Amino acid sequence: MSSLTGRLSAPLIVLTAALFLLAGCKKYELEKKFTVKPNGDKTTITRYRGDAMELNIPPRIGKRTVTEIGEGAFKNCTGLTSVNIPDSVTKIGDYAFEGCTGLTSVNIPNSVTKIGDYAFAGCKGLTQVTIPNSVTVIDVSAFAYCTSLTSVTIPSSVTKIGGLAFAGCSGLTSVNIPNSVTGIGPWTFKDCTGLTQVNIPGSIKEIGDYAFEGCTGLTRVNIPGSVTKIGEGAFEGCTNLRRVSVPKGADVFSGAFPKDTKVERY
């Protein structure tokens, strides 16, 4: 009986070893497609050279933990349709996925605290984004000209939304700005032509220059008493905005509203 067990276990050991070796080879082949910049026991992905359509970014490359998607790492990877970012990553760098026109799905983990300038700009296939509640900064043009984007969830952890962050997102129909944000930067929602209404929270003090310029579908906007400044051209070109109420103490700069919009003070 023992000899039979021995004869059966030997092939099983060989098969297990072969599978282990195969898994190691696949991992090695995947890792070879990344250029990295090591920093101690951590590393930053600086460039992806693969051609995958669906990609799970590894949490470790070699013996180092992947903590950052570097500047332009996946820029213009037009064949990429979905990407899963591991929860070891804390920062998505500037231009990281810019121009990934085929990208329709991205998983941003709860570990990420910053989404850099132009990080997803021009990702025209992206339809929705859930920003995790670990993110505190959405930088300049982070999602600019994501024309298929219809909804975005901005969590209460976000304190800063950079200028042009969602500019040209013509498919965006609604957006909820959380109470943690104190200002809306210049051109933040410029040319979001599908946007019909915006609820601005009581934490907002300033609405930047041209923040909602060209939002032709906007019919209603709630401006709270906390707002002290409405910048130049803030709602310029919002031709369907017929009436708006503005706090008495707010400074309203030149051309903030279309000439046909009735501005009432309260």
CATH 3.80.10.10 is the classification of domain 173-266 = yes
- Residues 9-22 have pLDDT tens digits of 656 555 554 444 44
Judge whether residue 155 has pLDDT over 70: yes
Higher pLDDT, 128 or 172: 172
Give the pLDDT confidence score for residue 7 in this predicted structure: 58
The answer to whether 266 and 245 are in contact (CB under 8 A) is yes
The answer to whether 127 and 147 are in contact (CB under 8 A) is no
| Domain ranges across the chain | 1-31, 33-162, 173-266
- At 58, is the pLDDT very low, low, confident or very high (cuts 50, 70, 90)? very high
- Residues 33-43 have pLDDT tens digits of 999 999 999 99
Task: Give the mean pLDDT of the chain.
Answer: 91
- State the distance between the two ends of the chain, measured CA to CA, in whole angstroms: 93
Give the pLDDT confidence score for residue 157 in this predicted structure: 96
Judge whether residue 226 has pLDDT over 80: yes
Judge whether residue 3 has pLDDT over 90: no
**Do 33-162 and 173-266 agree at the fold level?**
yes
Mean pLDDT of 63-92: 97
- At 174, is the pLDDT very low, low, confident or very high (cuts 50, 70, 90)? confident
Mean pLDDT of 158-163: 94
Give the pLDDT confidence score for residue 48 in this predicted structure: 97
Q: How far apart are CA 212 and CA 221, in angstroms?
A: 10
Which CATH code fits 33-162? 3.80.10.10
Mean pLDDT of 216-233: 96
Give the pLDDT confidence score for residue 197 in this predicted structure: 86
